[in-house]
């Protein structure tokens, strides 16, 4: 499973990328707006840090405008993946952009039928938001399982990007289910490596090493 960071923070991206384990980045208008920077400049800097797919979202809501905006985003760097919302106009734009060889991440997916339409439109990936479904007492991970089954049934090449990840257990469940990509906030990424028994065990090893008998004559 590919691990992406869901952020617009260059600082977070640099820190996570230092592990050598970050495969890509997802951004959205909310994350980018927090940075207070020119969008193109921010994307170029991110592309210089992580050599992988970098999702950049359109903010238009009409298909023609989405296509125009998407083409401009795709010109910024070869790693840019254009994000389009899962609305009728977004599907139209996805069909057009994908037909011209531009990778599209269809975002804000909340149902199997939406994912099916995104795949038929030629989406490079679709982003089901599992955390937001959990928030309304729906089963976000069940949606991932349903989408994966549908895609396998019909040999769709569209990848399932598990989004709106809230905690490490979401990452575990996504991996067990077979999600192709999992994107997460930096705070969740940090938690993946943490375990109190690891910390306690290491401290015990180091304490015992320091307390070993001297071998000096």
Q: How far apart are CA 22 and CA 5, in angstroms?
A: 7
Task: Examine the residue annotation and report whether 83 is marked as an active-site residue of this protein.
Answer: yes
Half-sphere exposure of 28 (CA within 13 A, CB side): 16
Q: How far apart are CA 5 and CA 2, in angstroms?
A: 10
Active-site choice (71, 83, 194, 204): 83
* Residue 166: its H or E element: none
CB-neighbour burial class of residue 6 (10 A; exposed 0-12, middle 13-18, buried 19+): buried
Q: How far apart are CA 1 and CA 40, in angstroms?
A: 28
CA distances from 185 to 130, 192, 198 (A): 14, 11, 23
The residues assigned a catalytic role are 83
């Amino acid at each position: 499973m590919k691990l992406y960071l869901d952020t617009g923070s260059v600082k977070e991206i640099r820190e996570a990328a230092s592990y050598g384990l970050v495969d890509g980045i997802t951004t959205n208008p909310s994350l980018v707006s927090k940075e207070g920077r020119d969008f193109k400049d921010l994307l170029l800097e991110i592309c210089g840090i992580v050599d992988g797919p970098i999702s950049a979202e359109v903010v238009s809501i009409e298909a023609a405008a989405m296509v125009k905006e998407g083409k401009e985003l795709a010109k910024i760097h070869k790693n840019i993946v254009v994000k389009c919302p899962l609305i009728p106009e977004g599907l139209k734009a996805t069909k057009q952009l994908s037909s011209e060889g531009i990778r599209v991440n269809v975002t804000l997916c909340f149902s199997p039928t939406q994912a099916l339409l995104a795949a038929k439109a030629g989406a490079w990936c679709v982003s089901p938001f599992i955390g937001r479904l959990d928030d309304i007492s729906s089963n976000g991970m069940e949606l991932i399982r349903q989408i994966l089954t549908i895609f396998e049934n019909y040999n769709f090449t569209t990848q399932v990007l598990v989004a709106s990840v809230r905690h490490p257990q979401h990452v575990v469940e996504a991996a067990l289910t077979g999600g192709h990509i999992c994107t997460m906030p930096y705070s969740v990424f940090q938690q993946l490596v943490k375990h109190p028994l690891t910390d306690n065990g290491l401290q015990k090893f180091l304490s015992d090493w320091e307390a070993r008998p001297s071998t000096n004559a």
